[in-house]
Structures are given as C-alpha cells and as structure tokens.
C-alpha cells in the first residue's frame, strides 16, 4: 500500500482561517431576516393600510364619485326650482290670488264679505 504524500500538520490552523461556528452565523441571519420582515411589514402597512394607503385612496375616490353624482343631481334640481320660481312670478292669476288672500284686496266694484269664526255650540 502506498502512503499519501500529504501529512497532517501538527499544530491547528490559526483562528483567522477557521469558519465561524454555525450558531453565530444563524443568529445573524435570523436577526437579518426578522429585521427585513419587520421592514417589509411596515412598508406593506404604509402603502396599503395607512392613512395615505391604497385602501384609503380607493375609498376617497369612491366617495368623490358619489359626491360628484349628488352635485349633478342637486344642480338639476336647483335649475328646476329656479324655472318653477320664474314661471310662478310671471303667472298673473297666481299674483292675483296672493293679493286677495294675503292682503285682502278686491277689484273695483267688488264687495268683500268676512265672517267671524263661530264658537263651539257644544259648550
């Protein structure tokens, strides 16, 4: 049998050439993973669920759309009310009725009869 030309060194290698123990390496890696996970969680929360996140932005867009539709409906209703007001101010019969009922006005040669309210006969 032939002997190997390699001979084992009598002294152990210097510490700087040794690998780090697996325990220390895994602790650093675990700490790094935890910090990366926390950072990722914070970023996801801030972009999705925060005050200026996507969910809030979508809710505000939806509310803005509803408010715009309501504003259009109110503008149409205001236009209708304005048209109705203009039409009623031009109506001569309506103005005559208001003058008769509110101000007790009469036409020329017309007699206005007013009756006093009768008291209850049950007393």
Reported as a single tens digit per residue, the pLDDT across 21-76 is 655 557 888 899 999 999 999 998 888 888 888 999 999 999 999 999 999 999 99
Please report, for the chain, the start and end positions of each structural domain, with discontinuous segments joined by +: 36-103
- The answer to whether 53 and 46 are in contact (CB under 8 A) is yes
Lowest mean pLDDT among 2-11, 17-26, 83-92, 112-121: 17-26
- The answer to whether 55 and 49 are in contact (CB under 8 A) is yes
Which among 99, 122, 121 has a CA at the least distance from the CA of 112?
99
pTM of the model as a whole: 0.47
Digit-coded pLDDT (tens) for 81-98: 999 988 888 888 888 888
Lowest mean pLDDT among 18-27, 73-82, 92-101, 114-123: 18-27
Residues in Cβ contact with 48 at an 8 Å cutoff, skipping those fewer than 6 apart:
54, 55
**Sign of torsion over alpha carbons 86, 90, 93, 96:** positive
């Amino acid at each position: 049998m032939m002997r190997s030309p390699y001979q084992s060194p009598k002294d152990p290698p210097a510490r700087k050439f040794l690998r780090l123990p697996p325990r220390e390496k895994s602790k650093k890696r675990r700490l790094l993973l935890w910090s990366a996970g926390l950072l990722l969680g914070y970023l996801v929360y801030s972009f999705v669920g925060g005050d200026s996140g996507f969910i809030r932005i979508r809710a505000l867009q939806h509310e803005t759309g509803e408010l715009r539709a309501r504003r259009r409906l109110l503008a149409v209703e205001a236009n209708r009310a304005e048209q109705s007001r203009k039409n009623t101010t031009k109506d001569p019969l309506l103005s005559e009725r208001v003058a008769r009922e509110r101000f007790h006005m009469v036409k020329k040669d017309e007699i206005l009869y007013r009756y006093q309210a009768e008291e209850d006969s049950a007393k």
